[in-house]
Structure 1
Amino acid sequence: MTSRTFPRHAPRRSAAVRGWWARSVASEAEESAYDPGDWTKGARLARRGAVGEIRVEAGQVVAAVSEGDDVQTVQVEVEVFSADEAQTVAEVVAGAAGWVGTLLSGRVPDQLDEGLEESGVELVPHGGLRSSCTCDAWVDPCPHALAVLLQVAWWVEDEPLTLLHLRGLDRSGLTERVAATARPGGPEPSGGGEPDEDLAIALEAAEWAAVALEQEDDADV
């Protein structure tokens, strides 16, 4: 799995995020703050554009945060999906009409959370954030890490599949697993039914969309 690098986010007036998944990431980050003042400071740093490029890969986020003349390096670790959890995600997606095309075209259905929760999988890992920073703060996460996490939520707002990528399941991996689930002889969808013609059509369209998006990613590098 390749890493994704997001450019420095332009300063913005508000720390607010839109979209179910982006709000979930931001809420989890805020709840992980040791003190409300840490979250306030982290949000202020994020809004000022103090966070540099953000590198996202399976289970890890790395970024630099500038505060005056000081630059801190932040690393946030998130638990990746196990093989069984990744397969469950694919089965839940394949078992719901329309979700294949929606997800692989870059959008995450809000209802996916409920479907995964019923299957025992958390898309946003509650209480599973671990961070380190080169600053001298003794709390985890420190305000610098909270600033990075808030900007990760902003990127999830723009590109929801960033969250799956962080959990270790990128577009190509999801496409392969959904395709294996949909093929005769592959694992059955979570609903236990046979893959239908609509799923096959949606999967084909989604694969083309995924290829196009991958090409866009390569062009941005």
Structure 2
Amino acid sequence: MSSPENKATSYAIIGFGKIGKALGKAFARNGINVSVATTRNPESFESEAAAIGPEIIATTLTEAVKADVIFLAVRFEAHAEVAKALPNWEAKIIVDVTNAYGVPPEKTDGLPSASFVARSFEGGKLVKGFNHLIAAILEQNPAVNGGQRVVFLASDDDNAATEVGTLAAKLGFAPIQLGKLAEGGLLVQPRGNSWGKLIFQDLVKFDK
């Protein structure tokens, strides 16, 4: 029997709109299993999940949040509702793929949107990432002309950022760490009606 230390990391995507499906395609492309859930009954999107690949497992929100790494691919306004699925998110990594464009700063208590989201997931380690690309780009194979499409990551937890960076590389992307949420991370967070300067930047990294 394998020890808990050897247990494979489990993944989930909460939200199965355009971004959730784009993320699902990245997992399926690389043969990595991922649970997908919404607030709806999983039977309502099971066929859409199966159409992407056998790696995409439609499940309930209650089951999905048991994963170790959870991609939050819902509307920004829905994050607090998702957070209620667990009383404590200790030891879990939440990858915040939301974009709070159009949300007045006073509604996030003046905080960067990802820092505000992090408050709802008590005990969890939040990484901002995968949100700067539109779904039509994110769903494409990230191998581009001999290079790898870039994804930007930011977190106040260095270990969590490193773990998500390792996953991003497994998915074929080139992860670039931006530092803390309220530092370099501001480049990939909207504020009010302004987009972060790196949002929508489709960059490709080439090895020398």
Give the TM-score band, short-chain normalised: under 0.3
Instruction: Give the structure with the larger helix fraction.
Output: 1
TM-score (norm 2): 0.23
When Rg is computed on C-alpha atoms for both structures, the one with the higher figure is 1
Instruction: Give the structure with the larger strand fraction.
Output: 2
TM-score (norm 1): 0.22
* More relative contact order, 1 or 2 (CA 8 Å, 6+ apart): 1
